[in-house]
Amino acid sequence: MKNDKQEKKMSLRVITRVSFYYEALLKLDLPQDSFISSKKLEEITGVSCNQVRQDFFYLGISIGKQKKGYHVEKLFRALRRVLSVDRGAEVIVVGAGRLGRALSEYKLFKIRNIHVTALFDVKPDLVGTIVDIKGRKTPIYHIERLEEYVKENTHVKIALLTVPESVAQEILDKLVELGIKGIVNYSPRILKLAKGIKGVQLVNDCIGASLYKVVYQIYHK
């Protein structure tokens, strides 16, 4: 039976911190039967040990032992369950340029149970070629096959969007129309869901914008 706390809808801030904890465990690669303290998680993630404990309490993760910390294997399982990583995710990439291919070849996706199943583009020199993702041959299709592919692979619900900004909104609308439920937009334009669209998660994650924020903060302390 699931803990009531796990049924709560978490804020993006909580999800972000939980992602940091999960990434920390991946990086440390500790023996499964060992323990990790909230203080160690603070050292790795920068999140205070008090906040770590509060988050775990909020999420119903009560697998810690006084003076020893949290059992690594159990904590790993709990965090994977919270993030739904245990279910895995199959993803398509729309836009097979340098950024699109870099994302599809990201070596840590595999151990995070995330798999890119196909890429789409319009450039003749890319369409019909293969991206080798850790021995997994992943095809680049013409964008005209997007509808056909999504309808034939209904289990694919997530798309990474790395297309020019001039066509980004149009492709986003098409993805939503086809039933894609999660889109991460990397084009340098803020995209929006059409009015009335529900049950679709859109994240605008322009890499350049994040860098500009850092540059600005450095010179305007």
Q: What is the pLDDT of residues 95-127, one digit of tens each?
A: 999 999 988 887 767 767 788 999 999 999 999
Q: Among positive and negative, which fits the CA dihedral 137, 104, 134, 16? A: negative
Residue-level pLDDT at 3: 45
Residue-level pLDDT at 170: 96
Alpha carbons 142 and 92: distance in angstroms, whole number: 13
CATH of 4-81, one of 1.10.510.10, 3.40.190.10, 3.30.365.10, 1.10.10.10: 1.10.10.10
Report helix, strand or coil for 69.
Answer: strand
Q: What is the pLDDT of residues 23-74, one digit of tens each?
A: 899 888 899 889 999 999 999 999 999 999 999 988 888 766 677 889 999 9
Q: Which two tokens stand for residue 122?
A: 């319009």
Alpha carbons 166 and 152: distance in angstroms, whole number: 28
CA 162 to chain centre: 15
Q: Kindly report the CA angle at 181 between 196 and 55, in degrees rounded to 5?
A: 100
Alpha carbons 125 and 146: distance in angstroms, whole number: 18
pLDDT of 6 higher than 80: no
Residue-level pLDDT at 8: 55
Record: fold of 88-212: Rossmann fold (3.40.50)
Residue 93's pLDDT band (cuts 50, 70, 90): very high
User: What one-character-per-residue DSSP string does 142-161 give?
Assistant: EGGGHHHHHHH-TT--EEEE
Query: pTM score, two decimals?
Result: 0.72
Residue-level pLDDT at 54: 93
Q: Which two tokens stand for residue 33?
A: 């039967």
Q: What is the pLDDT of residues 172-201, one digit of tens each?
A: 999 999 999 999 999 888 999 999 999 999
Extents of the domains making up the chain: 4-81, 88-212
pLDDT of 86 higher than 80: no
Alpha carbons 167 and 26: distance in angstroms, whole number: 37
